[in-house]
Homo-oligomer: A and B are copies of this chain.
Amino acid sequence: MAGNSFGTLFRFTTWGESHGPAIGVVVDGVPPRLPLAEPDIQRWLDKRKPGQSRFTTQRQEEDLVKILSGVFDGVTTGTPIQLLIENTDQRPRDYRNIADRFRPGHADYTYWKKYGVRDHRGGGRASARETASRVAAGAIARKILGPGVTIRGALVQIGPHAIDRGAWDWRAVEDNPFWCPDAAMALRWADYLDTTRKAGSSAGAVIEVVASGVPAGLGEPVYDKLDGDLARALMTINAVKGVEIGSGFAAAALKGEDNADEMRVESGKVVFLSNNAGGILGGISTGQDIVARFVVKPTSSILHPMRTVDVEGNEVEISTHGRHDPCVGIRAVPVGEAMVACVLADHLLRHRALTGDV
């Protein structure tokens, strides 16, 4: 209830600040006897870690994860799994100049108003560094979901440039530094972001996460609907300002008969003729692909000078140097995948509790 935990049965709690000694997450509610070792988690952390291209922050963090508990003889024991990631490339000095002034678009002002104290070093607890813990938890969630469920994310828009959905190719996603499913657009984004970075500016982005193989029946109406939990899960990622499911905001302009997904029977199984619902009806999964999108605002840490105030109430200007992502949306892709995995794993356990379906 205190704000740093997520999930009900599959439940994790993260801790740690951007420039403290370490960050980490304790994952509780993991079923016993699942094979689990550090590489199973490291693999996903490597996807998120900084410094992999010129389009992300140059902070060098290996993000090496250590399992401190909950695993014995190579399998989970049903007890809490503590994962620890040491911070190795802290440069708190980079943040001295922002200790007393509030960076526009950041949580500096609100943390100061709420808590009366804040760890200003790189945003402290409010830093996107926290999302490494989410990715680690997501790796365990995937183990619970098993190989039948696939969760993949892709970047579908940077700045004003949206992909051509007709050109969608999941294989392309791994071949460019943007997780872009449209190879042609990836090239265009590279140019756009180079220009953006050189201008001391930054760009927003839209990410789409698709979960395939999810059985029908997951979700607990009415307040723990699957889409409600996904919305919360994705909205709590740093810099996210919106979430939509299936046809999302475009549904406003559709007619009822165009939006409702018709159903037929094929080879004895119910099939839907479209997926405007994004795989969720009445808060419960339909068995179709679950499709969620979220928007990440442009990075607020920019060279461009901005007007702000300091802790003593003086009007000042600020430019953020340090090491930053020109488009934080890129590294949000594995984070979004992880959060979707965590929501699904939690609901899988909740569903089998309620119905006995295993």
CB-contact partner of A353 in B9, B69, B263, under 8 A = B9
Interface size class of A (residues with CB under 8 A): 35 or more
Q: In the complex, are the beta carbons of A313 and B229 less than 8 A apart?
A: no
CB-contact partner of A251 in B26, B116, B234, B241, under 8 A = B241
Interface members, chain A 212-248 (any B CB < 8 Å): 216-225, 227-236, 240-248
- Residue in B closest to A282 when the chains form the complex, CB atoms: B107
Which B residues touch A235, using CB under 8 A? 225, 227-228, 230-232, 243, 245
Q: In the complex, are the beta carbons of A117 and B73 less than 8 A apart?
A: yes
Which B residues touch A3, using CB under 8 A? 28-29, 220-224
A47: interface (CB < 8 Å): no
Return the CB mask of A271-289 against B: 1 if under 8 Å, else 0.
0010011101111111100
- Residue in B closest to A261 when the chains form the complex, CB atoms: B104
A68: interface (CB < 8 Å): yes
Q: In the complex, are the beta carbons of B110 and A77 less than 8 A apart?
A: no
For the complex formed, measure the closest distance between the CB of A259 and the CB atoms of chain B, giving whole angstroms.
Answer: 5
Please report the C-alpha to C-alpha distance between residue A14 and residue B5 in the assembled complex, in whole angstroms.
13
- Residue in B closest to A255 when the chains form the complex, CB atoms: B201
A sample of 12 more A-B contacts (CB under 8 A), given A109-B281, A229-B232, A231-B232, is A3-B222, A24-B82, A104-B263, A107-B284, A113-B217, A113-B287, A241-B244, A242-B251, A252-B295, A254-B297, A260-B302, A265-B315
